[in-house]
Structures are given as C-alpha cells and as structure tokens.
C-alpha cells in the first residue's frame, strides 16, 4: 500500500507543501501520496484521527493547528517542547504519535545556504509569535554575540528572552523589548512578524544595518516584501522565506522517510511557479 502523508491547515488550499513533498518523493524514487487536508478550526484532533484511520503515517501541520498538534502528541521532541508547537507528526509502529518542529532548523539551514552572518554576529529578530519561538533555539546554537527580540507587544519579546535565557551561553547577550528600544547596528535582521502579509513594516530605526548585513523575511512572495525593499534601500542584502519553507519540509521528509532530499532544485521549481 502507498504510504500516505498530508498537510493540515485551515485554510489549506494555498499550501505549497504537496508540491514540495511530491517533488522530494519523485527525486528520491519514493512511492507515496501527500495531500492537503482541511480540518475544522477547533478540531484538529478529529481531522488527524480520521487520517490515521485511512492509513495516514505522518503529517505537516500549519496555521492555525501548531498548538493543537502540540497538545495532541504522545511524544514530543525536545525542540518541539521548547517551541510549544508541532509542525510534523509521525505515527509510531506502536500507534503512538510523535511530534516535532522543523521550522527552526529549516530557517538556519536556509541562512547557512545564503551564508548569513551567524556565529559572532549581532542578530535582530522582529516578532514574538509562534514562528519566532520556533527559531530561537537553533539561532542561539550558532552563538551570535547578541540576539535581540523586538515586538509590537514588548512583553511577549521580553518573555521569550526570559524563556530562552538558559540557552544563551558563551557570551551571547539575549534580550527582548519594543521596536522603539532597538539600539545599534545588526549583521542579520530576521522579520518574523506577519506585518508583511498586510504590506506593513514594523517601525524600525533608519540606521539598522552593518555594511554587510542581511535582511531575511520569513514570509515569501513573488515580489520582494515591503521589509525586503526597505532593507535593500538601506544597503542590506535581502532574502525571503521560500528557502526556509523548503528546508523545513526536507527535515520533515527526513523524519518520515530517513532520506534527505536535495532542496535546491525544489526551491528553484517553487520560485519559478511563484513568478509565473
């Protein structure tokens, strides 16, 4: 029987995950099916249970289900526990449900691909929602000299900094606050707010970037986002989150299939589709 996987979300029709995973499977000669499944906003558990009865072996989980998935699983990976979110489900042989999050590793792999400054760098992260919570651990593991979290609701940024303080070792300074409190220049600025979705830009100081700085927007689109354009106008290199999307998918694929897809051709295919 063909192995079955899916992505759950609400809405889900826009999801690129089926395209990505089918391309991985083709590349690796795997016979599997991967479908987009809509679950009721308040009943992710019901949607997952139905899928398992139909033979589902694993799933990706996107908005708004990452926290519901976190509460559903029997066994959480340490990184999912930290993130309080699950984006990958795997059904164990004993029927137990294993939950992991691959967003953080996806971001860092993409940052490494584009040679972003990480070790010893000054990093600014904008936003303090689920996506940012998921990327702090692997970012801190790269040992930046400073990691500042800035958010519209400042208390959420300072709360995140407190939650991850034990991981800021070896001289990394970690703090959180409002956009208005941002001070100094940064080698890497990551936009993890959803402001770009509405074409908005957080209020940022004009002199934000060091000369070789990189601006990374977790959102992706056919056109550069407003944050990317703002950064480019101030001399920074800029990149969107399409690579992160493909890398997090590759890590999920690895959890399910124990094989690593080559992400570059799949990212290229997706970019071409987006631009078409």
Q: Is 113 in the site for ligand NDP (CB under 6 A)?
A: no
Q: Which of 202, 250, 252, 256 contacts ligand NDP by CB under 6 A?
A: 202
Residue 66 is among the residues annotated as catalytic for this protein: yes
200 neighbors 230 (Cβ within 8 angstroms): no
Helix (H) or strand (E) run with residue 9 in it? strand 3-9
Q: Determine the interface stretch with ligand NDP among 21-29, 89-97, 128-136, 251-259 (rule: CB under 6 A).
A: 128-136
In the complex, the smallest distance separating the C-beta of residue 63 from ligand NDP, rounded to whole angstroms, is 6
Count of alpha carbons within 13 angstroms of residue 215, beta-carbon side = 26
Rounded Cα–Cα distance for residues 186 and 125 (Å): 10
Q: Is 194 in the site for ligand NDP (CB under 6 A)?
A: yes
Q: 225: which DSSP letter?
A: P
Q: Is 128 in the site for ligand NDP (CB under 6 A)?
A: yes
Three-class SS state of 84: coil
Q: How far apart are the first and last CA of the chain?
A: 36
- x/- letters, 207..246, toward ligand NDP (CB under 6 A): -----------xxx--------------------x--xx-
Rounded Cα–Cα distance for residues 146 and 171 (Å): 8
Is position 94 annotated in a ligand binding site?
no
Q: Which of 66, 93, 142, 259 is catalytic?
A: 66
Q: What is the CA radius of gyration of the chain?
A: 19
- x/- letters, 245..274, toward ligand NDP (CB under 6 A): x--x--------------------------
Is position 104 annotated in a ligand binding site?
no
Q: Is 176 in the site for ligand NDP (CB under 6 A)?
A: no
Is position 241 annotated in a ligand binding site?
yes
Q: Is 173 in the site for ligand NDP (CB under 6 A)?
A: no
149 neighbors 132 (Cβ within 8 angstroms): yes
Rounded Cα–Cα distance for residues 61 and 69 (Å): 7
The token duo for 60 is 């990706």
Q: Is 192 in the site for ligand NDP (CB under 6 A)?
A: yes
Parallel, antiparallel, or unpaired for β 56-61 and 3-9? parallel
Q: Is 193 in the site for ligand NDP (CB under 6 A)?
A: yes
Residue showing the smallest CB distance to ligand NDP in the complex? 129
Lookup result for tokens 């651990």: 137
Provide the sign of the torsion angle of the four alpha carbons 156, 157, 158, 162, taken in this order: positive
CA of residue 129 relative to chain centroid, distance? 11
Q: Is 11 in the site for ligand NDP (CB under 6 A)?
A: no
The residues that touch ligand NDP, with contacts defined as CB under 6 A, are 103, 106, 127-132, 151-153, 156, 192-198, 200, 202, 218-220, 241, 244-245, 248
Residue numbering of the annotated binding site: 15-17, 62, 87, 103, 127-131, 151-156, 218, 220, 241, 248
Residue numbering of the annotated binding site for NADP(+): 127-131, 151-156, 218, 241
Active-site residues, by number, are: 66
């Amino acid at each position: 029987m063909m192995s079955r996987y899916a992505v759950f979300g609400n809405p889900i029709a826009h999801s690129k995950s089926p395209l990505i995973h089918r391309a991985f499977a083709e590349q690796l000669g795997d016979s599997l099916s991967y479908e987009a499944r809509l679950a009721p906003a308040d009943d992710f558990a019901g949607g997952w249970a139905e899928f398992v009865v139909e033979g589902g072996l694993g799933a990706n989980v996107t908005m708004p289900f990452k926290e519901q998935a976190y509460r559903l699983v029997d066994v959480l990976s340490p990184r999912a526990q930290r993130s309080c979110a699950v984006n990958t489900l795997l059904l164990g042989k004993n029927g137990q449900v294993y939950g992991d999050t691959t967003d953080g590793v996806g971001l860092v792999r993409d940052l490494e691909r584009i040679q972003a400054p990480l070790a010893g760098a000054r990093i600014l992260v904008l936003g303090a929602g689920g996506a940012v919570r998921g990327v702090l651990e692997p970012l801190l593991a790269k040992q930046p000299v400073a990691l500042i979290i800035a958010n519209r609701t400042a208390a959420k940024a300072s709360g995140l900094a407190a939650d991850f303080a034990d991981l800021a070792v070896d001289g990394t300074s970690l703090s959180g606050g409002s956009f208005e409190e941002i001070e100094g220049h940064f080698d890497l600025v990551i936009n993890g707010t959803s402001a770009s979705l509405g074409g908005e830009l957080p209020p940022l100081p004009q002199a934000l970037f060091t000369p070789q700085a990189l601006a990374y927007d977790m959102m992706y689109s056919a056109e550069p986002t407003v944050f990317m354009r703002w950064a480019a106008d101030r001399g920074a290199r800029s990149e969107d989150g399409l690579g992160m999307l493909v890398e997090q998918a590759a890590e999920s694929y690895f959890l399910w299939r124990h094989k690593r897809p080559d992400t570059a051709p799949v990212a290229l295919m997706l970019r071409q589709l987006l631009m078409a």
